Structure 1
Amino acid sequence: MAQRMRAVQYTSVQGGLEKNLRYTEEALCPPHDEQMQRGDHIMVEVISASINQLDWKMAETPVIGKALTYSFASSATIPGMDYCGRIKSTGSTIDSFSIGELVYGRLTRPTSSGTLAQYVNIDPGTCIPLPEGVNPDHAATIGVAGETAYRSIAPNVHTGDRVFINGGSSGTGTYGIQIAKLLGCHVTVSCSTSTIELCKELGADDVFDYTKTDMVGELIELGKTDPFDLVVDDVGQPEDLYKESHLYLKPEGKFISIGSKNDIASLAARTLPTFLGGGRRKSEQVHVLLGTHRDDLVQLGRWMAEGKIKAVIDSTYPLADAAEAYAKLKGGHTHGKIYDVDLAARGQAIQRPSKTFQCQHNTVEQHRRDKMAFPRFRSFQAVSQCLPYTPSVVRRAIHTFREVQPLRTFRKELQASQRTVGFVPTMGALHEGHISLMRQAAAENTDVFVSIYVNPTQFGVNEDLDSYPKTWQEDMDKLQALNKELQVKEGSGSITAIFAPITKTMYPTLPPTSEINGAGSFVTITPLGSLLEGASRPVFFRGVATVCMKLFNIVMPERVYFGQKDVQQTVVIKRMVKDFHLDTEVKIGPTEREADGLAMSSRNVYLGARRREVGVVLSRALKAAEKKYLQGKRLRADILWPTNEVSTSKMMEQDDLPPSKRARVEVDYISLADPDTMEEIEVVDASKGAILSGAIKMLPLEEPQEGEDCGLGDGAVPVRLIDNIILQPIK
């Protein structure tokens, strides 16, 4: 990581922030030593960063701005709170984000190391994966403006409410119009003559041109017959807008102030008693939001991906011209947001807003009936006109969830629309075996949910938890490619949600333990979980059953999909579902194999060419045993003796080679078991069949050679391989 970076900085605000900003290519990278020690930091390389009124208002407010940015010293301060960028590094405890992943969000408050820089440190709790199809420049505008609009409106309205937004063309105002319309409100806004059409395009029902009308007088007249339920003031002017609000607001209505001035007169109006000049609605006054509600940012990103809201961008500037951008922002009359570009020197460009978003209905009546039209809100009063159905609006969007409640909300909305969910749990490092399960799930359900979570409780103390492959971006690419494939299949569902939680989310009360006697809430399936794989890995099936129980409770799928390769796992999961009366159907997909017969596994990336060539001995040994069964053998000894012959021959062959050429292998077990209990059997009941399975360990290479394909980990990681064949019943 470079120690110096590009940024804009200020050490004083004398005369205004814009007059003190300086561009430099020698700024110190944000300090992260403390975060590195805690292991909880994310460093983001900024692609786009939008600016807000909050930036300069906080900086220019004496004492408050200094306290918020921790910049009482004369050290340089970098402004900016909103961003979209690419992850450059993560701390050791961050297991749900990957290097190179595109993310967006906002800082929780102004700091001395803001987002108008090449790099910025981000709290993982406010770092959100960029949804597919969302332009990074557009996502960078969501932060402060989008969240402030959402928090001002969403908790305070119901379908059919009347909302007035003062400053409809501001960054917060443009988002506010769209959000209020999504929630079924009648929206009135104020704006200048030049932005009337913009506000109407965004959905405003009525527009006041504040340059030509007595806005407060008009509001009071409206209040006599149609008073408002909510007022959101994004401007702070005119001065009597707040003081006279009791004349146009309902008695229970709310006045939300976002853009109010910080002078004494404005403060008095908001705080003093009425007889001393104050307004009548102190208890309803809400100040600009400095906290961050992650769920709100996730929701806004989802809506943007679905085409239900859009970013309105007034202009763009290269980072070096940030002072000019702030000067324009402070001058007012901007349309939507202004953003600075860090990595691309685009110069100044004007981006005009596109046409109003489209929904997916042919008629207004269809829109009213569809409870999925706008997620999270169960009822919606349709807009006056729906545009033609566009299948791509929602089909290709894959929503990434990190926390439980937003996913549950999304799931319940699907449920209310009679949609079905097929769930494929994974630990990432996706291969064709996973993809085949997702295809099966898409063929049988309208929606497919995929989890990507490396569960620590199924790994023993000396197993490969720390080295388990993490390939987030490759996984995302594979899922997007699969969704494009599914798009063209008639009647096929698609992947609509990825659940990628952190461990604290999955194990909220205690740190997870890998000790067999460790404390915690666990699911154990006995004696099934202690046989075969369970004997070799004592905590494995306890961890698998526990995490699957949690995932099933969170996702609430109609069907869950597992691969036959992990055959004992499938038996354990079926038993758990049956014993605990879980309302889901367990579906098993066939084992996907490489061309040489090796069962596909995420761990195969560790093998390399030499160990890979030897590793196929397991599938060949099991095939030899299956052949005996098909020839009519039923006794255990008759069926299994070929497995011993094949494996022993391969081990002796390798022992005769020099260390520079051999790959050593150890056989853990070969099993012939009852298909229901996994207990060993001496004679196969042909009417019932049996499960033939085995496990081997490929030991580390003794002498890796220069230039040799040794696999991930350079051949130093031992690799456990498992495989099985179902001996089918013979009628």
Structure 2
Amino acid sequence: MSTSELPQSSIPLLTTVTAYRGWRQKAFDERKSVGFVATMGALHDGHLSLVQRSLAENDLTVLSIFVNPAQFAPHEDLSTYPRTLPGDLALLQAQRVSVPATDIVRTPSAVFLPSVHEMYPSGISQDTAAQKGTFVEVKGYGHQMEGASRPTFFRGVATVVTKLFNVIQPTNTYFGQKDIQQALLLRRMCKDLLLSHPDPDHVHILPTTRDLNDALALSSRNSYLTPSERAIAPTLFAALQKAESAWIRGGTTEECIKQATIFIDEVKTRPAAQGVDMRLDYIQMNDSETFDVLGASSGKNYAGENAIILSGALWLGKTRLIDNIVIGDLNHIVQ
């Protein structure tokens, strides 16, 4: 999209690396902190909660909007992924945070809107076998949980976020817990690559934003749901809550997951679910550091030192929903 085609915006819209780096150098010169929220657009209240946190904690806040081809497999929804730039910019222009004990009101400072060519100068294909150029992979941590169902996903995420961090050079960056494996992988990536902007301690993971009426995790892909699918979409989170309750009562991993799957099977028999294609992808309990699957006989007395990620994915028609609950000490995960 050329500059002349961009919607009107009171927030500076930067479409090239060169333009952004000029903007960033000024922030460096003025010793101002920069908060960063990476998105693929189709913004909702979950994204805006990250923006609000960044506004509260940083002098300047930058948001990127880029639908990343490298994290979509050839059969996935790249071409149909929602693109709502005018509405996204309207939402961002309404965001503001007052700084306590001052007259300062912070609003988003810039939006980075790169083209595919700008982000992938060597070109990009959704077919990993046809890709040429430099890519980033977090070895040993991307094949579990989401990675089992989407084997090229985290390679694409790690690559594009490394590029974004190289461009944006944020002081702090913010991700949502809904994509907990992704957020933890990116924190590990910052540590392994010795990044300074951001360093691992400044990769912040914020609690999942949920619908106030039924607790469905907010997601851009929720817009794909039909009315009948949307009515039963909270099933996944409710199933995870069943598993969590079983764990708290002293159940084993196997028993907890069984409680969740029994609940999903029961929902399928309800009148509201008739005609809806509901398919469970997975429910797992994993160590939050290693992502290793907990043994079937693990229970409340689990000896691991790390928090446990209870997560799952559920298909409703053509829409794949994900969600998670973190069991244990959140201090090293949610900052």
Provide the TM-score with structure 2 as the length reference.
0.89
Inter-CA distance 628–127: structure 2 relative to 1 (3 Å threshold): same
Contact 2:37 2:174 (C-alpha < 8 Å) held by counterparts: yes
Q: Which structure 1 segments of 5+ residues have no match? A: 1-95, 97-123, 133-397, 700-717
CA distance in 1: counterparts of 2:60 and 2:174, whole angstroms: 13
- Is contact 1:428-1:452 (8 Å) kept? yes
- Please state if 1:409 is matched with 2:22: yes
Please, what is the CA RMSD of the aligned residues? Answer: 2.0
Match of 1:527 in 2: 140
In 2 relative to 1, CA 690–407 (structure 1 residues): closer, same or farther, beyond 3 Å?
same
Which residue pairs with 2:255 in the alignment? 638
Using the alignment, how far apart are the partners of 1:690 and 1:546 within structure 2?
27
Q: Is the 8 A contact 1:514 1:539 kept in 2?
A: no
Q: What secondary structure, in the 3-state scheme, does the structure 2 residue paired with 1:646 have?
A: helix
Cα deviations by residue, 1:643-701 (Å, 9 ceiling, x for unpaired):
111111122446983xxxx21111111010001111101223375330000001111xx
Gap change, CA 1:656 and 1:567, over 3 Å in 2: closer
In the alignment, which residue of structure 1 is the partner of 2:118?
505
In structure 1, C-alpha distance between the alignment counterparts of 2:67 and 2:6, rounded to whole Å? 19
- Check the 8 A contact 1:423/1:557 in 2, yes or no: yes
Q: Distance in 2 between matches of 1:492 and 1:532?
A: 41
Task: Check whether the contact 1:444–1:493 (CA below 8 A) recurs between aligned residues.
Answer: no
Q: Percent identity?
A: 38
Q: What amino acid is aligned across from residue 486 of structure 1 in structure 2?
A: V
Deviations 1:525-553 (A, max 9, x none): 12211222112112111110000000000
Q: Aligned pair in 2 of structure 1 residues 621, 667: CA closer, same or farther (>3 Å)? A: same
- Quick check: which has more Rg, 1 or 2? 1
Give the alignment partner of residue 97 of structure 2, picking from 467, 478, 486.
486
Match of residue 728, structure 1, among 312, 328, 333: 328
Other structure's SS at 2:139 match? coil
Q: How does 1:85-484 map to 2 (within 5 A)?
A: 96=1, 124=2, 127=5, 129-132=7-10, 398-482=11-95
The residue type paired with residue 549 of structure 1 is T
Query: Quick one: which of 676, 682, 698 aligns to 2:316?
Result: 698
Corresponding residue for residue 230 of structure 2: 612
Which whole-Å deviations, capped at 9, do the CAs of 1:164-195 have from their partners, x for residues lacking one? xxxxxxxxxxxxxxxxxxxxxxxxxxxxxxxx
The runs of at least 4 aligned residues of structure 1 exceeding 4 Å deviation read 125-129, 487-492
Partner residue, 2:294: 681
Distance 1:473 1:127 in 2: 11
How far apart are the structure 2 equivalents of 1:436 and 1:128? 25
Determine the C-alpha separation between the residues in 2 that align with 1:465 and 1:455: 8
CA contact (8 A) 1:610 1:663 kept: yes
Distance 1:469 1:646, change over 3 A: same
Partners in 1 of 2:304 and 2:68 — Cα distance? 38
Deviations 1:415-441 (A, max 9, x none): 111100010000000000000001111
In the superposition, relative to structure 1, how do residues 125 and 476 fare at CA in structure 2: closer, same or farther (>3 Å)? closer
Equivalent residues of 1:451, 1:499 under 8 A apart: yes
- Residues 1:656 and 1:488: Cα distance change in structure 2 (over 3 Å): closer
Give the total of aligned pairs: 317
Give the aligned partner of residue 624 of structure 1: 242
Judge conservation of contact 2:228–2:272 (CA < 8 Å) in 1: no
Structure 1: distance between partners of 2:4 and 2:87: 23
Structure 1 residue aligned with 2:220: 602
Offset, 1:129: 4.8
For residues 287-306 of structure 1, what are the alpha-carbon distances to aligned partners after superposition, in whole Å with 9 as ceiling and x for unaligned?
xxxxxxxxxxxxxxxxxxxx
Provide the secondary structure at the position in 2 that maps to 1:588. Answer: strand
What amino acid sits opposite 2:321 in the alignment?
L
Q: Distance in 2 between matches of 1:557 and 1:503?
A: 21
Deviations along 1:207-252, whole A, 9 cap, x unmatched? xxxxxxxxxxxxxxxxxxxxxxxxxxxxxxxxxxxxxxxxxxxxxx
The letter of the residue matching 1:421 is V
In the alignment, is the contact (CA less than 8 A) between 1:687 and 1:729 conserved in 2? no
Normalising by structure 1, report the TM-score. Answer: 0.42
Distance in structure 2 (CA, Å) of the matches to 1:688 and 1:439: 29
Contact 1:655–1:664 (CA under 8 A) maintained in structure 2:
no
Q: 1:561 to 1:664 in 2, by over 3 A?
A: same
- Alpha-carbon distance in 1 for matches of 2:127, 2:289: 28
Q: Closer, same or farther in 2 for the Cα pair 1:656/1:600, shift >3 Å?
A: closer
Matches of 2:7 and 2:272, distance apart in 1: 49
